[in-house]
Amino acid sequence: MSVSMASGRRVLLVEDDSSIGAGLVAALAGAAYEVRWARTAQEARALLAGRDADLVLLDLGLPDGDGIELCRDLRATDDQVVVVVVTARTDEADAVLALDAGADDYITKPFRVVELLARVRAHLRRRDAAGPDDVRVGRLRLDRRGRRVWIDQTELVLRPKELELLSMLVAYAGTAVRREQLMDEVWDEHWQGSTKTLDVHVANLRRKLADAGDRWDRIATLRGYGYRYEAD
């Protein structure tokens, strides 16, 4: 089963329980994640072969296999994907085994959906922050650790939120990013209706990029949607 939402991060849900699975798919899709749902270990392996998940929510008790084994196999081939084990409370010893097998976290059932979403968001943010230290897109170079940005040889002087916003847009270079996602991840709060702060920061970034000799329209506005850092 596949539920597609625009431009979200990709979550693979591995869960054989229909009602838990349906609830999580709805919650994740509602939070703009691109969700795929595997109900068996075999289905999960087939979907994971494409290596196109940012995060895996993994139930341990699957009808045709063991989630821990799946976790170990996944970790052996992909050290970037975030694995969060979702397990029944009585399986807590299994959760520890799962952490040993390379899972990043575990959540016990029953769980509150808001808490699960908060954990998912935090893990993805942490993974982004731990991304490559040095990023180059076209004429731009970003040194994450040093928090410095250059266009060719010209260094940009950016305020902290401008740097975080630019880092995120650059991380998704060539891809549209929703306003809500930018607000949520850069300002660490849910979008409240006014995104004037975001627009002001984008305007400042455009001016600073242009002052350094880059295109004024390097950051494209997508009306009614968000922004895209042009990768050309």
Residues in binding contact with Ca ion, number by CB under 5 A: 3
Nearest residue (CB) to Ca ion, 61 versus 65? 61
CB 57 within 8 A of CB 10: no
Nearest residue (CB) to Ca ion, 16 versus 230? 16
- Burial group, residue 124, by CB count within 10 angstroms (0-12, 13-18, 19+): middle
> Binding to Ca ion by residue 65, rule CB under 5 A?
no
Q: How far is the CB of 215 from Ca ion (least distance, A)?
A: 51
Nearest residue (CB) to Ca ion, 67 versus 226? 67
**Residue with nearest beta carbon to Ca ion:** 61
> Binding to Ca ion by residue 105, rule CB under 5 A?
no
Q: How far is the CB of 75 from Ca ion (least distance, A)?
A: 20
Within 9-38, the residues that bind Ca ion by CB under 5 A are 16
CA distances from 202 to 124, 169, 206 (A): 23, 10, 6
> Binding to Ca ion by residue 61, rule CB under 5 A?
yes
- CA gyration radius, the chain: 19
Nearest residue (CB) to Ca ion, 86 versus 202? 86
Residues 6+ away with beta carbon under 8 Å from 167: 135, 142, 144
- Burial group, residue 188, by CB count within 10 angstroms (0-12, 13-18, 19+): exposed
Q: Taking contact as CB under 5 A, which single stretch among the options 34-42, 52-60, 162-170, 200-208 is the one that binds Ca ion?
A: 52-60
Structure tokens at 11: 């979550």
The CA distance from 215 to 151, in Å, is 11
Q: How far is the CB of 131 from Ca ion (least distance, A)?
A: 32
Residues that bind Ca ion (CB under 5 A): 16, 59, 61
